[in-house]
Amino acid sequence: MNVPPEKVGKLKITTVCLEHGKREPRPAVPYEIKPIEEFTDRAEVHEVCRMLGNGMMPQRAAQVAAWHLANDMSWQELAAKELRFANGTRAPYFSAQEIQAGMQVAATATQLAQQRQSGAKQDSLSQK
């Protein structure tokens, strides 16, 4: 897809929320897409978004990992999150499988971030 500058286009993308507690996005609110580096310098979060963008994981697993890494939420806090319905019932926000998958995503993202950083350090040393 190619949208010329100053033109408006519609694009459906899979994303995650990087700021736990913000209101749920909706179409009536305009959004600005920016480089992730302008939001966070945490390499692990960059890796989660990169993997999600490449279709390497389900969105819900990426969301678990993103909140854990970007907002320092514990796995227990994420597992305890609930949806509350108008009739008074509650349901887990994430399933146990989604928490497990998110833990794996976070571990993989951390490992990839460390590999990239050590590779970048080696490249800069070899150029001296």
* pLDDT digit string, tens, across residues 35-85: 999 999 999 999 999 999 999 999 999 999 999 999 999 999 999 999 999
CA–CA distance, 123 with 117 (Å, rounded to integer): 10
Question: Is 5 a residue whose pLDDT tops 70?
Answer: yes
At 77, list the tokens: 């806090």
Task: Kindly write down the DSSP assignment for every residue of 26-52, as one continuous string.
Answer: -TTS------GGGT---HHHHHHHHHH
Q: Contact 29/91 with Cβ under 8 angstroms?
A: no
Q: What would the pLDDT profile of 82-98 be if each residue is shown by its tens digit? A: 999 999 999 999 999 99
Percent of the chain's residues with pLDDT above 70: 93
Instruction: Output the average pLDDT for the chain.
Output: 91
The tokens for 70 are: 């970007």
Residues 6+ apart with CB under 8 A from 16: 48, 49, 52, 59, 62, 63, 66
Show me where the domains of the chain are located: 43-126
